Amino acid sequence: MAVNLPLPIPEKLTAVAGIELGHAEAGIRKADRKDLLVMKLAPTATVTGVFTKNRFCAAPVQLCKEHLTKRSDKAPIRALVVNTGNANAGTGESGLANAQQTCEALARLLDCAPEQILPFSTGVILEPLPIDRLVAGLPQAIGNLKSDNWHNAALSIMTTDTQPKAASRQVTINGKTVTLTGISKGAGMIKPNMATMLGFLAMDAKVAQPVLDKLVRDVADRSFNCITIDGDTSTNDSFIVMATGTAGVDVTADNTPEYAALYDAVLGLSQELAQMIVRDGEGATKFMTVTVEEGRDAEECRKIAYSIAHSPLVKTAFYASDPNLGRILAAIGYAGVDDLDVTQLNLYLDDVWVAKNGGRHPDYQEADGQRVMKQSEITIRVKLGRGSAASTIWTCDLSHDYVSINADYRS
């Protein structure tokens, strides 16, 4: 059901020097399924991340934040470990102990301290993590460690995703090639509020820690934080950027041309990975770009864009290719922008001018709306006529399959 999402071809995923990936079938929830991933980093690497703002943030997320705070040049992050099948969220004290035990087990195998490990989990909430099976699977993952293993890595972090999500790109900075490769997974409980569960991006540039910290926040706000499938912010959202420092390109400050070039590359790849999550949203049949322009500030544009993107009535109309576009006006109207003057508002569906000054455009023909609605990729454009700010959100429709998938997820 994924919308215009090509399968990643293993040969086209470029290895990033300084990071090795190893997968395992640990039987976390189901047998015979890649469900455990270890990413091992060179000692030169800097790592940073942004995490869910859900108050029920998962035990591994709590530990990740703590370990990133404790890191230093002398004790850098050396590895990441990811399990699917269980979110280790809503699990209280024993959940924290299990996440801690995961780090300790991997640290022993890699000969480092537990604080040098970042743990991640995704899957069902409120169920105890099967820590014994997870720990037992680690040696297999370590045995598989190699640089050229991104495709298996993408497969290992999937839950209800129908396809692995991965992409690579390269950028030339100061005459040298920097390679970036990333993976992500969705596919429900997706309305990231910092970042999505899960996105990992590695590159071989050398990036100073404070610069990397700024980079990840700026990029997340324009990529993973701009997507929504069902408005449910996960307990486990994490977006991690790793710079292994092996390419001979050194980014020391955020006001340099090197930073600008790297930023564009990281943002481009992150948007691609984020959009992949929407394209493979649970039950998705349409990919929708919601752009709100001419607002007073980005925040009110974002409010309105989310209001449209979360409306079940708008989403089902797009699923049906039914130009019942009054539903978009209703969603704009209840978005919470209390002084919005709807008589200044214009609405477009791709190139079709639907509403003018808050009412139906006199020349609007339903056949024109219908033509656009039948496409698999559609842009909803709203012009508020009260300023120059803008925001864009990417989302998908709401189909029978979304209900089926989420009514059956655990069975």
Q: How many CA atoms lie within 13 A of 380 on its CB side?
A: 33
Which of 196, 228, 285, 289 is catalytic? The answer is 196
Terminal-residue alpha carbon distance, the chain: 20
Which residue reads 């020349």 in tokens?
363
Question: Which residues have CB under 8 Å from 124's CB, separation 6+?
Answer: 29, 85, 86, 87, 409, 410
For every residue of 279-329, which 3-state class applies, written as one string?
HCCCCCCCEEEEEEEEECCHHHHHHHHHHHHHCHHHHHHHHCCCCCCHHHH
Instruction: Name which of 82 and 354 has its Cβ closer to a second copy.
Output: 354
Binding site: residue ranges? 159, 185, 196, 282, 406, 411
CB of 6 or CB of 128, closer to a second copy? 128
Q: Which of 52, 114, 49, 123 is nearest to 79 (CA)?
A: 114
The neighbouring-strand residues paired with 157 are none
> Largest Cα–Cα distance of the chain, in whole Å?
71
Identify which of residues 178 and 198 has a Cβ nearer to a second copy in the complex. 198
Give least dist CB 155 to a second copy, A: 24
Instruction: Please state the residue numbers annotated as binding site for substrate.
Output: 159, 185, 196, 282, 406, 411
Query: Least distance from C-beta 93 to a second copy, angstroms?
Result: 7
The distance of closest approach from Cβ of residue 284 to a second copy in the complex, given in angstroms and rounded to an integer, is: 13
Residues 278, 394 contacting (CB under 8 angstroms):
yes
Cα of 94 vs its chain's centroid, Å: 28
Strand arrangement, sheet containing 79-86: 19-24, 36-41, 79-86, 117-124
What is the DSSP code (8-state) at residue 339?
Answer: T
Cβ at position 90, least distance to a second copy in Å = 4
Closer CB to a second copy, residue 174 or residue 357? 357
Select 139 or 326, whichever has its Cβ closest to a second copy.
326
Determine whether 196 is an active site residue. yes
- Token readout for 368 is 């024109």
For the bound state, the minimum distance from the C-beta of residue 214 to a second copy, rounded and expressed in Å, comes to 23
Residue pair 160/188 in contact (Cβ under 8 Å)? The answer is yes
* Catalytically annotated residues: 196
